[in-house]
Amino acid sequence: MPWVSIREAREMLQVSQRTLQRMVATHTLSSRMEQGRRLVLIGADEDRVRGNAPPGLTPALLPHLFDLLEGFTRLRLMASQAVEEAKAAEPFRAFPGLWDAPSVTQWQTLCDRIVTAHQLVRGLVADLQLDQQVVHQVYRALILIQLLWTDYEARSGEEEPRPTEQTRERDPEKLIMQLIGHARALLTGCLQNRETPAVQPVSGDRVIGVDGGDDAGADSGDGSGGDSGEDRDHGIV
């Protein structure tokens, strides 16, 4: 369906003007300004636009996003340290038993992957909005980072000391597993947000309220149907 005026949207959805304005303000409905009038997208086209729009963060998902950023910051420092250690060990790679040790270039490439994923997460935090494609990209990057880091550690030739509580806190592989869990939770949240219906019918008078109430009566408007003022912008952002 095409973009329609506020009055036409009210008639099609059978809601009050105030309810429609709330739906636009909360981005339940897509809208745009055209020649000083606000138009609303209704029906299949609106569902398609809403389905392609990035879902918002919920209070349950925020800790996962913040922990993901903080964890990536720590992992980035660990990767930089691994690169420096590889540079110091580079002359010893000629000795038997260390031929298969990961090179500086390999560690640096892994570090660059971590930096790229870290920047993607920083962008999500800056916008405080989820982007399914970005979250999916970060999740896939973490899986590859986990595989490479585990392989490089196994090929380093260093004998691992017995882990203590303190060393476990600084274990990069454990940190990567935690980051994968956070990214998986965010990706699941993205998919669940898309399946959540935005508008629920309520009372038997065929009036729909986004806040679960009955919008008939005082805020239903006078029903005059004129668009002299109601199609214009009423402070909706």
Assign 3-class secondary structure to 69-131.
HHHHHHHHHHHHHHHHHHHHHHHHHHCCCCCCCCCHHHHHHHHHHHHHHHHHHHHHHHHCECC
Give the other-Cβ count within 10 Å of 36's Cβ: 8
Q: State the pLDDT at residue 214.
A: 43
The model's pLDDT over 30-75, given as tens digits with 9 standing for 90+, comes to 788 888 888 888 765 445 544 444 556 777 888 999 999 999 999 9
Q: What is the CA radius of gyration of the chain?
A: 27
User: Would you say 9 and 40 are in contact if contact means Cβ atoms under 8 Å apart?
Assistant: yes
Q: State the pLDDT at residue 46.
A: 46
The model's pLDDT over 73-122, given as tens digits with 9 standing for 90+, comes to 999 999 999 999 888 877 766 666 566 778 889 999 999 999 999 999 99
Most confident residue range from 10-14, 49-53, 59-63, 224-228: 59-63
Q: State the pLDDT at residue 31.
A: 81
The model's pLDDT over 193-214, given as tens digits with 9 standing for 90+, comes to 665 444 333 333 333 333 444 4
Instruction: Give the span between the Cα atoms of 85 and 93, in whole angstroms.
Output: 12
Q: Which residues of 115-146 are buried (b: 16+ CB within 10 A; e: fewer)?
A: eebbebbeebeeeeebbbebbeebbebbeebb
Per-residue pLDDT at 222 exceeds 50: no
Confidence category of residue 231, pLDDT binned at 50, 70, 90? low
Beta partners for 4? 40
Domain ranges (residues) in the chain: 3-56+200-220, 62-195
Q: State the pLDDT at residue 211.
A: 40
Single-letter residue type at 46: E
